[in-house]
Each structure stands twice: as structure tokens, then as C-alpha cells.
Amino acid sequence: MGTARYLEIAETLRQAILGGELPVGGRLPSESALMTRWGASRGTVRQAVALLTSEGLVGSRQGARRIVLSRERRHSFAELNSFAQWAHGLGLAVTSRILLRARRPAGPEEAEGLGVPEGSEILHVLRVRHLDGEPTMLERTAYAQWAAPAVEALPEECVSIMDSLARDAGIVAQYGEHLIDAVAAGGQDAHLLGVRRGSPLLRQRHVSLDQGGRAIEWSDDRYRPGSVTFSTSNSAAAAPLGRRIGDRAV
């Protein structure tokens, strides 16, 4: 019951921020006001606000009323494994279309990401994803051979491959590693995302593993400029985001 309530509170506040009812620079209602409005405990209200903080929508200063920071579409690290769930959480219409599925030998980066020998057979999938009808992200994904048949069985317009694999085949991603950088749009990227060749694209490369540590997918995802912002939080005790120069960690 408490979990459902904090999500409901967060969704109402999220829509108020995205719709401009709570403007950037303005303050959120106080914890006491939210507790009274929703008949909720202080802990439930704080969970709701913490969720908005993780999305980068509000500030997280302690001892003061939270301030609206942004109306951007932010993609928190907790949601990286499901683009569709993140989009639906913001009230956005998400559609997807698989443009290509082909078995072929794994290239060097795919082999390293999946932890298989170079040249091993993988399933290559090219997919374009839309938010509110606009092309937003292009995925080039290599699926491990053991997961390939389940992916091949999915319809071309499958909205979320990972959610479908979990539901239909019991293949559940439990762990992920992500690399984020920027690249220039090539000819195919430009055509499918509706941008000029050479435009800067936000790129996320990631591997997803199941509970037993088996790699499910290695993906190179490229976002249209201005469509998505990634956010993360760290502290002196924990730093989930690392830096790299090229492919070398620092």
C-alpha cells in the first residue's frame, strides 16, 4: 500500500513539473502539506520526493524546501535497463520498430561485451525508438546466442524487448554496466533519427546480465540531440559514475 502511494504522489508532482504548474525555480509543497493532501506518512512523502530527485527534476538540499530544477526528460541510472518503463513513467508515448534481425559473427567490441570469443555467432538487431511520434533513439544490439531465439520470436513493433523477454522467456536482466559518450551521426544514424550527418549524438553502450552473470545483450544506443538527459548521484562513500579517456578508465 505504501509503495503504491509514494508512486502516485511522485507521478502527480512529476506531471505538475513537466506541465509547468510547478515552475523551474519554484518550491515543492512542504512535506506537511503533502502529508495532509495525501493522508500519507512522512516516510512515504520522502520516498516520492527522493524518486523525483533521482530523475533530476527537483533539488535534494537537506533542511530546506525542495526546489524544481528542471523540466527536462531525464533518464536516471536506475531506469537504464528499460527505456519503455522510463518513458511511460513520464507519460510519454513510446513506440519501437525492429528494422533488422540477422545472425552473424561477433565483432571485437561485441565479443568483449558479451564475454565470448570473437567470431562467435550472435543475433544483431537494429531498432529505432520514438517518443511521442519523434525518432529519439537508435539501438544496435548484439544478443548472446542462448537468448537469440526468444528475441527472434518477438514482433517487429515490440515496445520493450527486455520486458518481453522477462515475461515470455524468463530472461531477466539483473545487472548492467554502462559507458556514455558522444559520437557524430553517420549516414544511417542521420537518416533514421532525422538529423544532419555529423550531428552530435549521445551514445550509451551497455551490457545486461542475468542473475547467474550470463551476458544477455551488448548494445550501442544513440540518442537524438536534446531528447534525453542522463542523471546520476554520488557521495563521498559511493560513486556509481566513473570517467574514461577513450576506452581507458581514469
Domain range list for the chain: 2-54, 74-232+239-249
Range of weakest confidence among 28-32, 49-53, 227-231, 233-237: 233-237
**In the chain, which residue ranges form alpha helices assigned H by DSSP?**
2-18, 31-38, 42-54, 83-89, 108-114, 148-152, 161-169, 187-193
What burial letters (b/e) apply to 206-222, b meaning 16+ CB within 10 Å?
bbbbbeeeebbbbbbbb
| More confident call, 230 vs 49 | 49
Query: Inter-axis angle of helices 42-54 and 31-38, to 10 degrees?
Result: 110
2-54 maps to which CATH number? Answer: 1.10.10.10
> What is residue 243's predicted lDDT score, i.e. its pLDDT?
58
Range of weakest confidence among 2-6, 99-103, 131-135, 182-186: 2-6
Q: Which position has the grid cell 538527459?
A: 229
Query: Does the pLDDT at position 1 exceed 50?
Result: no
For the question of whether the overall pTM of this predicted structure is more than 0.95, the answer is: no
CATH superfamily of 74-232+239-249: Chorismate lyase-like (3.40.1410.10)
